Amino acid sequence: MRVLSLALAVLIVALQQPLWLGKGGWLMVWKQEAELEKAQAHNAALQRRNMALEAEVLDLKQGFDAIEERARNELGMVKQDELFIQVLDTTNTTTAPAPLPADSTPVVPH
């Protein structure tokens, strides 16, 4: 009786081996499901980025305000007959600017 039970147990294990470890088995399915979830999360992030870029392109095509804002912020451009004033925050600086030599004159742009 023990030999028959042992033989049946070995047969059951042998029959389930492809189910668990074979091509298309449960372990492979679980691994592929994890990869699928990771790919879907990556695709969702790319989709959000694409939507933001699409909105920016649409804004640039329709309005000059966005173009002007990008030109001012990224390129430092100013309009004609406009005065540019830069305010420096001196409260957080630890070193004072070097004094000008006595014989130099400051350069003022026109």
- Note the pLDDT tens digit of each residue in 27-66: 888 889 999 999 999 999 999 999 999 998 888 788 788 7
At 77-87, the pLDDT tens digits run 888 888 877 78
Q: How far apart are CA 7 and CA 102, in angstroms?
A: 104
H or E segment and range at residue 46? helix 26-62
- Cβ proximity of 60 and 66 under 8 Å: yes
Give me the residue spans of the domains in the chain.
2-75
4 vs 57: CA distance, rounded Å: 74
